[in-house]
Chain A
Amino acid sequence: MVSSINPSLKMFTVLIPGIVLGLTYDVFTPLVYLMFILVVTFTMTTIPLLRWLKFFSPFLLIAAGFAWMTMLYTNQAFSGGEVIFRLWMLEVTTGSLQTGLSVGFRSLCFGALSLMFILTTDSTKLMLSLMQQCKLPPKLTYGILAGYRFLPIFRHELKILQQAHRIRGVARARGIKGRVNQFQRYAIPLLANGIRKAERVAIAMESKGFTGDPDRTHYHKMIVGKRDWLFFTLMIGALITVFVLSYHLGYLEIFGRSFG
């Protein structure tokens, strides 16, 4: 299961294909890898389909937007080939269509990989692992964890502030100037409270013997085991396979250079 993979290694396993795919300019490579990611997502995680779709749909929209814009305004270097259709002043050629689709699929790959990581990773475990595997200083990781707890508190405080302003008879802001003023009125008390709370938490943490010393014991030992490397090999192996396949079929294109 993806959720039990060591978070730090999972992060790299997801980042590498994300970056490498960014270099491909053909349609075949990202499309095949995207299908592979989807297979992994639905066979090796327990994310409910509906929940996944809810998060993935914005990525679909964004990817479609990227693809469309890239297709219409393709860089001269990639826009060769026959003209397929004309839109007002713009010519869409086979080259630009291919580049557009490629951009779209690459964005979807990136989205699907990110979701696979985010929806299967516990924030506490990620921080513990970053501290144990990547040697991030405890001051930073525990700081982030403490900050994470603040998010719902901030939302609650903002709601109270809005109510308080309503009570005082401040009408809902209109226009840009009103919005800016309103933001200023909210920002000061929110920040003042935020800073005060952060200080309190810092002091409470120090009172519990926290000094930021990296030499500490670890109750939850985060380890990188066989299973983790297996997952890494699977994801990266699939990436290499897709590249090799694409190369043999003559589709592979990196930075506009064909390797067929």
Chain B
Amino acid sequence: MTQLNRRQQALLEVKDFSFWYEENIAPLFQHLNVTLNQNEVTLLMGASGTGKSSLALCLNGLYPEAVEGIASGEIVYNGKNIMEFEKGELTQEIGIVFQDPDSQFCMITVEDELAFTLENIKVPALEIHARIKKILKAVGMEGFEQHKIHELSGGQKQKIALAAVLLLKPEMLILDEPTANLDPVSSLEFIQLVEKIQKDHQISVLIIEHQADDWLELIDRVLVISRDGRLAADDVPMQLFTKQKQLLEQEGVFLPGDYSSQPTLRERWIQTEPSRKRILSIRSLSFSYRNHEILRKVTFDVFAGEFLVIAGENGAGKSTMLQLMAGLLSPKAGNVCLFDRPLAKWKEKALRKRIGFVFQNPEHQFITDTVYDELTFGMKLNGVSDQEMEKAAADLMEQFHLTPYRLNNPFSLSGGQKRRLSVATVLDETPDILLFDEPTFGQDAGTTSELMDYVMDLKAKGTAIVFVTHDMNIADTADNIVVLKKGKVAFSGSPDSLWKQKGLLYEARLRMPASVRKGKGELHGLIH
């Protein structure tokens, strides 16, 4: 291990640092003492809501000022307190790539976006063109100058975001869940790019990430922030992932597959076979939007008690497929039948009772002011008596750990609580089929396994479950997987038979889950 030799010169020292968003509330994190070194790659982990992103912004000096928060303690960069830096000076030393590819650009074309960065640091106009060309080559996006950013794929957007930050020639790079929005292969490509850049430029990298698996080759050290905002662990990955498993589980951190002694996700639940009762049947379904074909002749069935995963790269038509299955969109050709009756022939009210839909962003689903009202909204519409309503709501709140928040505004809940409430709202009457759009996106280990527990319980009771997801560990637990590629069904069958088709996996930009991959050396063999 080379870590010990590398640990030489301190780049960033955090000393007894605490941060509050407002006075009189508990600090987001407190009394942090940590030193980040030159040319060291550090992984920062912790449950969602522990302030990892806020810490990143404190490090490059934008917080607490930008949110009018309060901080105590000090952060020292290269021997100088960060408070002493001029505005805009420190951000050049410490560059950040953010999670959401859609809200980190301000210009329309790639060239203008990169020029914006260079203009900020007053690079002479004549040098700008050459610098842009060079950096695009470095991130593997040569010739994309005139492309419009909003037309790029998620993976390409993140590469541009990385290029923009690298133009600042930072000493340190912070990556805040940079691959959360990407399909499995794009995600792996981005990680390999970071690895190459780190080696070429010898810069320090701080990575914030829930899933450590793919970063393992790269990281020297892991930090864990506990739920109460303290530094719970600071160690080399080997030590941490083998000796402190209990701590990690308690803090809601995913253990990398290589270190996990737990049964794989799919062995956690008693497998229940789907019945032969057909709930939803999709027959040669086609859909287009503004003369652009999105789905073409898609055919498959969903049975009672089946857990079906729809996978595929960004833009393959997965979300559109789900919306068609819920009857939110009408097909151009072919049809979707619920119990052998086309969705269009169902009464809206009856349809909504039988089909539940959980959106990617839970906030989109909230329409009332309290958790209780949110849970009883559907019951009120259906004229359920007050007593029954009270009991059903109490049961749901109990089951989803929401009882203490009965009168809270749904928007004020934490990320995990919002996710639980969004699932609970569709369960007021047991639907026949539940559709989920990326339900585990951005969730920590605790919230994810909780959600999967509910879902598997419902499945055992005979509800059909459909997930759209990029998470191959979850896909592995499904009864069946439908892979969409450019709007067509490229595969339909069991996970095990899918994992055998390597060519197809790569073309659809999917990967084997970590548990299957273990010991097969797929990580590098696939792309190189």
Q: In the complex, which residues of chain B have a beta carbon less than 8 angstroms from the beta carbon of A166?
A: 328, 348, 352
A126 nearest CB across to chain B (Å): 12
Q: In the complex, which residues of chain B have a beta carbon less than 8 angstroms from the beta carbon of A204?
A: 96, 98, 103-106
Instruction: Bits for B352-374, please: 1 = Cβ < 8 Å to A, else 0.
Output: 10011101010111110000000
Contact A167:B357 (CB < 8 A) given known A145-B106, A189-B366 = yes
B377 interface residue (CB < 8 Å to A) = yes
**CA distance in complex: A152, B102 (Å):** 11
Taking a contact as CB atoms under 8 Å apart, the answer to whether A217 and B124 are in contact is yes
Q: In the complex, which residues of chain B have a beta carbon less than 8 angstroms from the beta carbon of A85?
A: none
Chain A residue at smallest Cβ distance from B329: A163
Chain A residue at smallest Cβ distance from B121: A209
Contact A208:B117 (CB < 8 A) given known A168-B378, A217-B125 = yes
Chain A interface residue number, banded? 35 or more
Taking a contact as CB atoms under 8 Å apart, the answer to whether A213 and B88 are in contact is yes
Taking a contact as CB atoms under 8 Å apart, the answer to whether B357 and A217 are in contact is no
A188 nearest CB across to chain B (Å): 8
Question: Which residues in window 163-200 of A have CB below 8 A to B?
Answer: 163-171, 185, 188-189, 192-193, 197, 199-200
Q: In the complex, which residues of chain A have a beta carbon less than 8 angstroms from the beta carbon of B57?
A: 203
Binds A, one of B107-115, B244-252, B253-261, B293-301: B107-115
Question: Which residues in window 120-170 of B have CB below 8 A to A?
Answer: 120-125, 128-129, 150, 164-165, 168
A201 interface residue (CB < 8 Å to B) = yes
B87 interface residue (CB < 8 Å to A) = yes
**CA distance in complex: A169, B351 (Å):** 9
Contact A208:B349 (CB < 8 A) given known A216-B120, A217-B122 = no
Taking a contact as CB atoms under 8 Å apart, the answer to whether B120 and A209 are in contact is yes
Contact A165:B120 (CB < 8 A) given known A145-B106, A201-B103, A204-B98 = no
B411 interface residue (CB < 8 Å to A) = yes
A211 interface residue (CB < 8 Å to B) = yes
**CA distance in complex: A218, B123 (Å):** 9
Question: Which residues in window 306-353 of B have CB below 8 A to A?
Answer: 323, 326, 328, 348-349, 352
**CA distance in complex: A123, B118 (Å):** 20
Q: In the complex, which residues of chain A have a beta carbon less than 8 angstroms from the beta carbon of B108?
A: 123-124, 145, 148-149
Taking a contact as CB atoms under 8 Å apart, the answer to whether A210 and B378 are in contact is no
- Residue with the greatest number of chain B CB neighbours at <10 A, chosen from A167, A185, A200: A167
- Residue with the greatest number of chain B CB neighbours at <10 A, chosen from A166, A197, A199: A166
Contact A153:B323 (CB < 8 A) given known A203-B62, A216-B122 = no
Q: In the complex, which residues of chain B have a beta carbon less than 8 angstroms from the beta carbon of A148?
A: 108
Chain B residue at smallest Cβ distance from A152: B150
Q: In the complex, which residues of chain B have a beta carbon less than 8 angstroms from the beta carbon of A202?
A: 66
- Residue with the greatest number of chain B CB neighbours at <10 A, chosen from A165, A189, A192, A209: A209
A54 interface residue (CB < 8 Å to B) = no
Chain B residue at smallest Cβ distance from A122: B108
B496 interface residue (CB < 8 Å to A) = no
B91 interface residue (CB < 8 Å to A) = yes
Taking a contact as CB atoms under 8 Å apart, the answer to whether A207 and B95 are in contact is yes
Question: Which residues in window 146-169 of A have CB below 8 A to B?
Answer: 146, 148-149, 152-153, 157, 160-161, 163-169
Taking a contact as CB atoms under 8 Å apart, the answer to whether B103 and A197 are in contact is yes
Contact A208:B120 (CB < 8 A) given known A164-B365, A185-B367, A200-B98 = yes
Chain A residue at smallest Cβ distance from B96: A207
Chain A residue at smallest Cβ distance from B112: A124
Taking a contact as CB atoms under 8 Å apart, the answer to whether A210 and B103 are in contact is no
B21 interface residue (CB < 8 Å to A) = no
The residue from A124, A192, A206, A211 contacting B66, defined by CB atoms under 8 A apart: A206
Chain A residue at smallest Cβ distance from B95: A207
Q: In the complex, which residues of chain B have a beta carbon less than 8 angstroms from the beta carbon of A197?
A: 100, 102-103
Taking a contact as CB atoms under 8 Å apart, the answer to whether A217 and B118 are in contact is yes
Instruction: Bits for A73-101, please: 1 = Cβ < 8 Å to B, else 0.
Output: 00000000000000000000000000000
- Residue with the greatest number of chain A CB neighbours at <10 A, chosen from B106, B349, B357, B359: B106
Chain A residue at smallest Cβ distance from B364: A164
Chain A residue at smallest Cβ distance from B115: A219
Q: In the complex, which residues of chain B have a beta carbon less than 8 angstroms from the beta carbon of A171?
A: 348
Q: In the complex, which residues of chain B have a beta carbon less than 8 angstroms from the beta carbon of A192?
A: 363, 411
Taking a contact as CB atoms under 8 Å apart, the answer to whether B104 and A167 are in contact is no
**CA distance in complex: A161, B356 (Å):** 15
B186 interface residue (CB < 8 Å to A) = no
Between-chain CB contacts (< 8 Å), 9 pairs: A148-B108, A163-B359, A168-B425, A189-B411, A201-B105, A207-B96, A207-B98, A210-B116, A220-B112
Binding site for B on A (CB under 8 A): 123-124, 142, 145-146, 148-149, 152-153, 157, 160-161, 163-171, 185, 188-189, 192-193, 197, 199-211, 213, 215-221
Given contacts A165-B367, A189-B411, A200-B98, 15 further A-B contacts (CB under 8 A): A146-B106, A167-B365, A169-B378, A169-B381, A192-B363, A197-B103, A200-B100, A201-B105, A201-B106, A207-B95, A209-B88, A210-B120, A213-B88, A215-B122, A219-B118
